[in-house]
Amino acid sequence: MARLNSFYLAGRDWKEPYSLAGPEARHMLGVLRTAVGDQVRLFDGQGREGLFRLVSAAKNRALLEPVEISLAQRPEGRLYLACGWSRSGRRDLVLEKAVELEAAGIAFWQAERSQGKVPASPKPSWQEKCLQAAKQCRNPWLPELVAIPGGTAGLIAFARRFEQCYLMWESDKALDKASPEALCAGNVLAVVGPEGGFSDQEAQRLLDAGFRAASLGRGVLRWETAAILCLGLGYWARQKAGNISRSPG
């Protein structure tokens, strides 16, 4: 059976009659040439997905009927990643990998060495990048997207939501190696710095606030490499534990 094309339908719209409008409908009908009777996959980014059949099509609207609908259980061991804001095109790569590696959330925070200012709220382009990645990898969950403009004070306030908080630090003061098991034990926040890393002062503020320093190895990693490595360690540990949020295929 050919791989089904996936389309996003917001949770508020999961009701009879099921329909797609706007860009998703135009992509389904105009770009992918989906025909009446064809089956597609819909998902809402919050664990709900289903197999649907196209029953009618107009220029900007597709009417669908459900074949089967399922709701995935929210994964345990939820990993959030907070990245120091960097003016970098590699941010899109981190967003894509966050979806593929099943991050529960991605936050961008204002660090002392950040290039530019983190926006006051997540940009629509971040959500769009995550949606495109979810369609490709069939993850039914989209990560929560957060912007933290308040420096370490804002990051510390955000961290109160989590059971464990880790500072991924290249300093020799970070004596503990980042453990895959630790990164999937409950609700966990892992923080990486921007290009140029943490300043000593902000690292100390985070340590004083209860963050635990952990090392990702002997080398000095680019921020996006450190971010993806954290995501990969958590993903691997969840896979070993059988904590999988999607079906294969």
**Total length of the chain:** 249
Q: In this structure, is residue 29 part of a structural domain? A: yes
Do both 58 and 110 map to the same domain? no
Spatial separation of the C-alpha atoms in residues 184 and 216, rounded to whole Å: 16
Q: In this structure, is residue 224 part of a structural domain? A: yes
SS3 per residue for 95-161: HHHHHHCCCCEEEEECCCCCCCCCCCCCCHHHHHHHHHHHHHHCCCECCEEEEECCHHHHHHHHHCC
Do both 208 and 116 map to the same domain? yes
Q: Which range of residues forms the domain containing residue 153?
A: 79-240
Cα 189 to chain centroid distance, Å, stands at 13
Spatial separation of the C-alpha atoms in residues 221 and 170, rounded to whole Å: 8
Q: In this structure, is residue 245 part of a structural domain? A: no
**What are 102's two structure tokens?**
């099943």
Do both 145 and 118 map to the same domain? yes
Do residues 17 and 27 touch, judged by C-beta distance below 8 A? no
Do both 107 and 193 map to the same domain? yes
Which residues have C-beta within 8 Å of that of residue 214, sequence separation ≥ 6? 166, 167, 168, 169, 174, 176, 177, 178, 179, 182
Residue 175 confidence (pLDDT) = 54
Do both 183 and 149 map to the same domain? yes
Do residues 164 and 210 touch, judged by C-beta distance below 8 A? no
Give the chain's end-to-end CA distance (angstroms, integer). 11
Do both 217 and 109 map to the same domain? yes
pTM reported for the whole predicted model: 0.89
Do both 34 and 89 map to the same domain? no
Do both 230 and 134 map to the same domain? yes
Q: In the chain, how many domains are there?
A: 2
| Residue 214: CATH number of its domain | 3.40.1280.10
Residue 1 confidence (pLDDT) = 41
| Residue 20: CATH number of its domain | 2.40.240.20
Last residue of a domain, one of 16, 51, 71: 71
Do both 135 and 19 map to the same domain? no
In a structure prediction context, what are the per-residue pLDDT tens digits for the chain, which is 249 residues long? 457 999 999 999 999 999 999 999 999 999 999 999 999 999 999 999 999 999 999 888 999 999 999 998 887 779 999 999 987 778 999 999 999 999 999 999 999 999 999 999 999 999 999 999 999 999 999 999 999 999 999 999 999 999 999 998 876 665 566 677 777 778 999 999 999 899 999 999 999 999 998 888 777 889 999 999 999 999 988 888 776 665 544
Do both 41 and 104 map to the same domain? no
Last residue of a domain, one of 25, 49, 71: 71
Residue 137: CB atoms within 10 A of its CB come to 15
